[in-house]
Amino acid sequence: MTDTTIKSLINKLNSKKGNDTMFLRPLSENVSFAKVWLEGMDSSYEFYFIKHELRYVGAVLDMGQELHWYLLPKYRKKGLLSRAMEMEILPHLFLFKDEQRITIREEAVGRRNYINSQRVAERLGFRRMPNNEYYLSKSDFKGNEGNIGANVKMSKERVQYLKNNYKVAVGLIGKIVDELKMSFNDADDLEHLYSDIKYSAWKLDDLFWKYNDKE
């Protein structure tokens, strides 16, 4: 993913235009974990968005064994990335994995960003490895303990919107299953899946009652 794409996501958050594609869970006042859907993709990306003075200014993309970070130019060299990584992002990552690697290549980011990224990695305790890789194990990390973040209450309108979307999605799956069954007379497995999804709609109400209505 390019820096240009990540910058566009930060701008979208600041303009409050990502309600249907970017779902955030606050880890603190300054960092939120997020699931981000890009157009044409069939699964989401995992991000950490960094906030400063009520505006989002940077992001860290979790690519599994790799991290890709980006800060808006005017907010660089202020310690915002290092603090967010140490206090919230790495602790959260280490709830789910035992190690983290990053690759820093000068030809990919330019000389200045290469040096800055090296400093950030080393300050956080990453050890330099061959081939421009840096490695940090959970056992060697000296930062905070991770937290799973805070629940976010939904409005009644948003709850109803999600219920309506679920109903539409169930209908689309049902149409696909019927067409396959009529064409090939062989869609039993998909038909069972459709039935499970259709008759699990009550679980939405259960979740909303458990975590939303009682708060």
What is the arithmetic mean of pLDDT over 173-198? 91
Record the pTM: 0.89
200 alpha carbon, distance to own chain's centre: 26
What is the pLDDT at residue 214? 60
Q: Which residues pair with 32 in a beta bridge?
A: 26, 49
Torsion 178-179-185-190 (CA) sign: negative
Cα end-to-end distance, the chain, whole Å: 37
What is the arithmetic mean of pLDDT over 200-214? 86
Give the architecture-level CATH label for domain 3-140: 3-Layer(aba) Sandwich (3.40)
Alpha helices in 16-139 (DSSP H): 80-84, 90-93, 106-109, 111-123
What is the pLDDT at residue 120? 87
Is the predicted pLDDT of residue 27 greater than 80, yes or no? Answer: yes
Domain ranges, ordered by start, for the chain: 3-140, 156-213
Q: Rounded to whole angstroms, how far apart are CA atoms 200 and 102?
A: 40
Is the predicted pLDDT of residue 215 greater than 60, yes or no? Answer: no
What is the arithmetic mean of pLDDT over 163-182? 94
Sorted by sequence, the CB contacts under 8 Å of residue 82 that are 6+ apart come out as: 120, 123, 124
Output 32 or 104, whichever has higher pLDDT. Answer: 32
- Which of 21, 16, 72 lies closest to 44, judged by CA? 21
Q: What is the residue type of 133?
A: E
What is the pLDDT at residue 19? 83
Residue 35 burial (CB count, 10 A): 14
Q: Rounded to whole angstroms, how far apart are CA atoms 152 and 133?
A: 37
Q: What is the residue type of 210?
A: K
At 62-91, the pLDDT tens digits run 998 899 999 999 999 899 999 999 999 999
Is residue 24 helix, strand or coil?
A: strand
